[in-house]
Structure formats: structure tokens, C-alpha cells
């Protein structure tokens, strides 16, 4: 697929899409673009950027840990000297399907958020950020995409917000799994055992039948049915087979617990 470079100054919202007769058959299945929350870069002040993805009906892309099928969207940055970038901040995932295979991804519109930190002094009048992105978008079939987006911003002490981009970024930040909760994950099984046993303790919101744990490092596969058991002490227990593709030697299990309409970032650890 041809690599496309987009230079965006003040509009800061570029999409790439192809016309199709049947999008579920021909792809690409999405509109995707690099966005900035402000019109410029202020020296020393962090800047929020995002890769915004609009999915056409029936399509999905993938979370950082897709499960049994799929490929996580990636971003490789080329930054001006002295600039640094955070890892992707992933909004909470959804359960979806590629054909008959359950997986973890996004059917809704989503923005993958990063924070760019500029140096305290910038000699140039403008700076450019390049984001080389790859993704897999699936419906009846799967359509890989590869594009490099370029965003050029002026250097200014007083950057202005861009309402449309700011709205997408704010929504994405609201959708980040919460770290502010009192739920603890206890890993009761030993590393590399065929069966994984997790205990979650705390004040749970109901209903429990909607509970699901998204394993963010692949120790638990997306094709295993999850049955949570409520214990007498109020905790809940998940016992599930370890994925055949699980990384080895892991002593914790990180992930996102969906429960009662909440999405909680949790790293299950052995009890001290």
C-alpha cells in the first residue's frame, strides 16, 4: 500500500479514506488521522496529540492486546531534537469478533492518545511531527493499513485550543481505564501453570454477569469464556486456562477489569 504523507498546519485534522461500493468487502473500513488539541507548540509545555479512528459500520480495529486474532495499531514517531513522546494511552477495549473469533478491539470511534514533551527552548519557528502508523481493520475480511502522517505546528507562547480535536482527545481521556479505585487483583496461581486463578477484592459494582478481564499481555486468550464466581467474603474469582501463546515467566497479570459498566486498570500480583 502506498505511504501517504500529510502536512497539516492549522486545520490539524486529516483523514485518509478510499471510496468503496461495499465497505465490508473492499475496505479500508475506517477514516484515520493525526490530530492536535492546540494550534501550536509552547516551549516546555506538554502537547497532546492523538491518532483518531472513525470506524465504518461493521468494522473494527484492535486494542494493544488483540487476543487470538488481530494486530494492535502501532505508531512510530519521528520527532524534532529534544522532544520526547509517551507511550500510547489506550482507551478501554471492547469485545468484538473477527469472523467467528472473539477478540479485543474497537468498533466505536476512538482516539489513541500520546503526550509530546517539548524542550524548554525551541530555536525553530515551527516544528514537524511524523507518525508512521500501521493497523488492521476487519469486518467480513481484514484490511491492513500503513500510512505516515506529518503534523507541522508553529512555535508560540500562546497556542489556542482546537475545539473539534479537543473534543476527541477529551473523550479519549475520559475513556482511559481508571487507576483511581480500590479493587485489588490477587494472582493465586504460579507462573506458567496451565490454569490461571485470579481473585479480585473490593467494593464491586454490579451486575457481575457482565464482568470481563482484558489481559493486556496475552496470558489470557480472548477465545476463553470467562466465568466469575462470587465468594463468601465478597471477592470474585476467575479461573481460566492460560493462553497457548502466553509469555513465559510472568509473575503478575496486567489488564483491564470491566465490571458494572466501569473499566479498571489492574495488575494482579501474588499475595505478599
Task: Tell me which of 174, 205, 236 is where a domain ends.
Answer: 174
Task: Tell me which of 129, 151, 174 is where a domain ends.
Answer: 174
Task: Indicate whether 155 and 243 sit together in one domain.
Answer: no
d(CA 104, CA 92): 10
Task: Indicate whether 85 and 163 sit together in one domain.
Answer: yes
Pairing of strands 195-201, 184-187: antiparallel
Task: Indicate whether 29 and 126 sit together in one domain.
Answer: yes
Residue 1 lies in a domain: no
**pLDDT at position 99:** 87
Residue 179 lies in a domain: no
**pLDDT at position 184:** 96
Task: Indicate whether 159 and 68 sit together in one domain.
Answer: yes
Residue 2 lies in a domain: no
Q: What are the tens digits of pLDDT across the range 222-244?
A: 999 999 999 999 999 999 999 99
What CATH number should be reported for the domain holding residue 106?
2.60.40.1250
Residue 169 lies in a domain: yes
- Under 8 Å between Cβ of 98 and 142: yes
| Beta-carbon-side half-sphere exposure of residue 93 (alpha carbons within 13 Å) | 26
pTM of the model: 0.89
Task: Indicate whether 201 and 231 sit together in one domain.
Answer: yes
Task: Indicate whether 130 and 189 sit together in one domain.
Answer: no
- Under 8 Å between Cβ of 211 and 127: no
Q: Which residues of the chain, if any, have pLDDT below 70?
A: 1-24, 206
Task: Indicate whether 74 and 33 sit together in one domain.
Answer: yes
Task: Tell me which of 118, 147, 174 is where a domain ends.
Answer: 174
| Residues spanned by the domain of 38 | 7-174
Number of independent structural domains in the chain: 2
What CATH number should be reported for the domain holding residue 232?
2.60.40
Task: Indicate whether 139 and 205 sit together in one domain.
Answer: no
Amino acid at each position: 500500500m502506498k505511504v501517504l504523507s500529510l502536512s497539516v498546519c492549522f486545520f490539524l485534522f486529516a483523514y485518509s479514506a478510499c471510496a468503496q461500493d461495499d465497505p465490508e468487502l473492499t475496505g479500508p473500513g475506517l477514516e484515520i488521522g493525526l490530530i492536535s488539541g492546540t494550534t501550536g507548540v509552547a516551549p516546555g509545555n506538554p502537547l497532546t496529540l492523538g491518532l483518531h479512528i472513525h470506524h465504518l459500520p461493521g468494522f473494527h480495529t484492535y486494542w494493544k492486546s488483540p487476543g487470538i486474532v488481530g494486530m494492535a495499531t502501532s505508531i512510530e514517531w519521528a520527532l524534532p531534537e529534544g522532544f520526547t513522546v509517551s507511550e500510547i494511552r489506550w482507551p478501554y477495549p471492547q469485545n468484538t469478533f473477527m469472523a467467528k473469533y472473539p477478540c479485543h478491539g474497537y468498533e466505536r470511534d476512538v482516539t489513541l492518545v500520546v503526550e509530546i514533551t517539548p524542550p524548554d527552548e525551541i530555536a525553530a519557528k515551527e516544528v514537524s511531527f511524523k507518525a508512521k502508523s500501521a493497523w488492521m481493520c476487519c469486518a467480513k475480511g481484514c484490511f491492513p493499513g500503513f500510512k505516515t502522517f506529518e503534523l507541522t505546528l508553529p512555535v508560540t507562547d500562546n497556542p489556542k485550543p482546537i475545539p473539534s480535536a479537543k473534543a476527541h482527545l477529551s473523550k479519549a481521556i475520559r475513556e482511559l481505564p481508571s487507576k483511581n479505585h480500590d479493587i485489588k487483583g490477587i494472582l493465586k496461581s504460579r507462573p506458567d501453570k496451565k490454569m490461571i486463578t485470579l481473585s479480585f477484592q473490593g467494593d464491586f459494582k454490579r451486575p457481575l454477569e457482565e464482568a470481563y478481564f482484558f489481559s493486556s499481555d496475552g496470558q489470557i486468550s480472548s477465545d476463553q469464556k470467562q466465568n466469575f464466581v462470587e465468594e463468601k467474603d465478597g471477592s470474585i474469582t476467575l479461573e481460566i486456562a492460560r493462553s497457548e501463546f502466553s509469555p513465559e515467566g510472568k509473575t503478575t497479570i496486567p489488564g483491564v477489569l470491566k465490571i458494572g459498566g466501569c473499566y479498571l486498570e489492574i495488575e494482579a500480583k501474588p499475595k505478599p
